[in-house]
Amino acid sequence: MRPWIKILSTAWLGLMTVTPPALADYPDRPIRIVVPYGAGGGTDVVARLVAAALAKRLGQSILVENRPGADSSIGSEFVARSAPDGYTFLIGASGLSSGPFLLKAFAVDPLKDFTHIVQFAEAPTVFVVNPLLPAKTMKEFVDLAKANPGKYNVAVFGPYASDHAVLNLMAGINTVAVPFQGGSAPMLTALLGNHVQAMFAAHVAVKGQINAGQLRVLATGSERRHSLLPDIPSISEAVPGYSASGLWQGLSGPAGLPENIVTKLNTEVNAVLKTEEVKLALERAGFAVAGGTPAAYRAWIVSDLERFQKAAKASGGGPK
């Protein structure tokens, strides 16, 4: 072998066996986690709680950045278009799987455009009403709505629009969807003022008002009674087969994220979620710890996409 060829061959073999410094020392600079919703909501709370604990384990600061808008499309697209270098991530939530069926402008593919790493937590959706409404159970609400078609208004936002449409269809009722922007806060204000009579919401977003007697919870949206709220009936007990959106969060990066970064972050997040401090903090906030493998988190999103697809088909709706 000619000397110069031998030298190049040896150098090439050396490069093939050396771990790139960026991966060997990862993370060597601050990490950014994008929350595609406004500050103070359930997804933001979970993101900041887990990020603070994860930063300690990684020995590196983590910046949580809110980029709300367009049913999570703005923040999601920002992350999807970022370099897959392990320094920009998305806190995915139900808007990631409902967006393709609600908005024509939803600019990302929930599966192709992301590397899904690990699910953080999940929380039940509840159906709540203004206490001035005479219904005290979900069955009573359905009966009341059947007797008064078009009379009662239900606040909706994002994926809850599909939940409302399917409830109307499956229960055989005609309640009016009143769309809101900006998450649960403006819907809650309208419900407390009796401008609307009911709404779907994450339990964590309305539990204070429920406990204070300002709202009445009729049911959870889960297919069966939720482990966090075992005393509250599910909607399916009054409307067989019904299942509403749940609130969930997880960590995703841009497509093409290196496997060893995925493995490291999955391991570290699972370790964080198993700590008593984080577990108790999530439960106090109204969330159940999830965790698990990247494959399990991706499967969760696939299942949620299928549910929204069925809901859109059943309700005759589609992207707007």
Q: 30-45: per-residue pLDDT in tens?
A: 999 999 988 887 788 8
Contact present, 265 and 104 (Cβ < 8 Å): no
List, in sequence order, every residue forming a beta bridge with 90; answer none if it has no partner.
Answer: 34, 252
Mean pLDDT over each residue of the chain, to the nearest integer: 87
Instruction: Tell me how long the chain is.
Output: 320
| Alpha carbon distance 309, 304 (integer Å) | 9
**Are 152 and 220 in contact, with CB atoms under 8 Å apart?**
no
Pick the more confident residue, 23 or 69: 69
Is 19 a residue whose pLDDT tops 50?
Answer: no
DSSP per-residue codes, 197-224: SEEEEEHHHHHHHHHTTSSEEEEE-SSS
pTM of the predicted model over 0.85: no
How far, CA to CA in Å, does 170 sit from each of 56, 146, 238? 48, 12, 10
Percent of the chain predicted with pLDDT > 70: 89
Question: Per CATH, which fold does 125-237 belong to?
Answer: D-Maltodextrin-Binding Protein; domain 2 (3.40.190)
Is pLDDT above 70 for 305? yes
Q: What is the pLDDT of residue 7?
A: 46
All CATH 3.40.190.10 domain ranges of the chain, comma separated, are: 125-237
249-280 pLDDT tens trace: 999 999 999 999 999 999 999 999 999 999 99
Tell which CATH classification among 3.30.420.40, 1.20.58.1610, 3.40.190.150, 3.30.930.10 matches the domain 31-123+246-315. 3.40.190.150
220-236: per-residue pLDDT in tens?
988 888 888 899 999 99
Task: Count other C-beta atoms under 10 Å from residue 242's C-beta.
Answer: 21
pLDDT of residue 94: 79
Residue range(s) in the chain whose domain bears CATH number 3.40.190.150:
31-123+246-315
In this predicted structure, the answer to whether residue 197 has a pLDDT above a threshold of 80 is yes
Q: Contact 208/221 with Cβ under 8 angstroms?
A: no
pLDDT of residue 214: 97
